[in-house]
Structure 1
Amino acid sequence: MSSGITDEAAIEGHDLIHNAEVEEQKLHGSHALTNEDLEPASESDLGKAPPSGAKKESAMDKTITMTSAWVHANNLKKRLELTREELGINLVYGIGVAIYRGDPDKDRGEDVEIYIAKRKTPGAEWTLPASDMKPNEKMREAINRVALKEMGHEVDQIKVEIREIGFTSQTGNMGTLFHFAATIKDESQPRIRMEIDHSEWRWVRADQIYDGSLTSRMQSNLIACFARIKGTVAR
């Protein structure tokens, strides 16, 4: 697998997530993420001078702050209506979707499960559905497209923004991978072409993250997803 991210529209979202998380770990380490880690900066925080001793801002950190349309669309509903072009025509954007079932408000969300899959490629890892954004595509359209492609089901509700990960592509362009949590209209077996696209798929609970089948990157990603799904409401 390549160590960077290409700019071609046909790039598989699984590689997109893999490489963006590698870049994130270089910046922040591989510690388990908490709600504090996941909370994005408010508009009032943007542009402030960093506190004394703070880590110097990297090009990846700047990817988020320089996307003014994203900053000013300060709630989930507004952000989902943004197109790739409104986010910034010179940047690369990806969409990752944590599709889940179960009630986050019941029994501390113990029955919440997130859909993951493994592609039919050598050395493939368990990962979340993801893809790059297409020209003139709104974020909500991209999320629904990813769900249809990966599961064969339409999105019911886009519940919450999970986090954003900055990265630099192989050609030197900066970009952002946006993660969202969503439910689907039909929680039955995914209607996907297993013989073509996937070797395996499953629903995973929070207490199954450390069962030995997931990479540390995927464990960290799922921790972030479960924390947001169980602990917050849509902005």
Structure 2
Amino acid sequence: MRKPSLRAGKSILATALLAGLMACSAGFARSKPVALPDPTLDLPSTAAAGEQTAVFAGGCFWGVEAVFEHVKGVRQATSGYSGGNSGSAEYDTVSTGRTGHAESVKVVYDPSKVSYGQLLKVYFSVAHDPTQLNRQSPDVGTQYRSEIFTTSDAQQKVARAYIAQLTAARVFPAPIVTRVEPLKAFYPAEAYHQDYLKLHPNDPYIVYNDAPKLVHLKQLFPTLYKGG
């Protein structure tokens, strides 16, 4: 499990947030889901079942992983690190913010059931706040940045087009700061990070920062939401 000092730090902070910021959550947790338009450009769906991979970074990977685990068509979501090298892909090192890594989630999905564009819509609407630079909720540092790591030129084209579409529509009150870069490598995180929300649903950090994302997912995407 997570080292006591690291986990305790997040839990203490989250407890303070719960006690003092429930009535004023601006800057820490989005109070309402953001309804977004469908992407005008998307990757074509396939008739036959298969597997494709997408990688997203948007704050602490616990919540991002949990969101995508509850999307129909997603076969697996794995917390990990992207953006740096293999030698620094370790939690304590990444947490310094000096490795180039971002806490990321690898999403393996069936394109016959959910499209890349739909995953982007989930990512921008409920998985994180794309207007926060190098932070999400109470977590601050480059390792918490908003970034899409694309696995193909086609993914990069769709991701950039959707950002341009959302920017033109002015759906957010501030500019989108999400980066789009080709994926160089994905390194799975330590075992105690995997399925963290499922295994620790009562952790104050989870209760305040991540559990609401699942509520928003169910509200905005009732046909895509899967329980469990």
Q: Same fold (TM over 0.5)?
A: no
TM-score norm. by structure 1 comes to 0.29
TM-score norm. by structure 2 comes to 0.30
Q: Greater strand share, 1 or 2?
A: 1
